[in-house]
Amino acid sequence: MKLLEGKVAIITGASRGIGKGIAEVFAKHGANVAFTYSSSVESALALEEELNDMGVKAKGYQSNAADFNQAQTFVDAVLAEFGTIDILINNAGITKDNLLMRMSEEDFDKVIEVNLKSVFNMTKAVQKTFLKQRAGSIINMSSVVGVKGNAGQTNYAASKAGIIGFTKSVALELGSRNIRCNAIAPGFIETEMTAKLNDDVVQGWRDGIPLKRGGTSEDVANACLFLASDMSAYITGQVLNVDGGMLT
- Residue 228's closest CA among 92, 53, 28? 28
| Catalytic option among 37, 61, 156, 234 | 156
Asked if 93 contacts 163 with a C-beta cutoff of 8 angstroms, the reply is no
Quote the Cα angle for 146-148-153, to 5°: 60
**Gap between the Cα atoms of 121 and 124, Å rounded:** 5
Question: According to the 3-state scheme, what is the secondary structure of 104-141?
Answer: CHHHHHHHHHHHHHHHHHHHHHHHHHHHHHCCEEEEEE
Amino acid at 204: G
Q: How many residues does the chain have?
A: 248
Name the region of 55 (left: φ>0; alpha: ψ -120 to 50; beta: rest): left
How many CB atoms neighbour CB 241 within 10 A? 19
Residue 37: active-site member: no
Query: What b/e readout covers 13-40, taking b as 16+ CB neighbours within 10 angstroms?
Result: bbbbbbbbbbbbbbbbbbbbbbbbbbee
Residues identified as active-site: 156
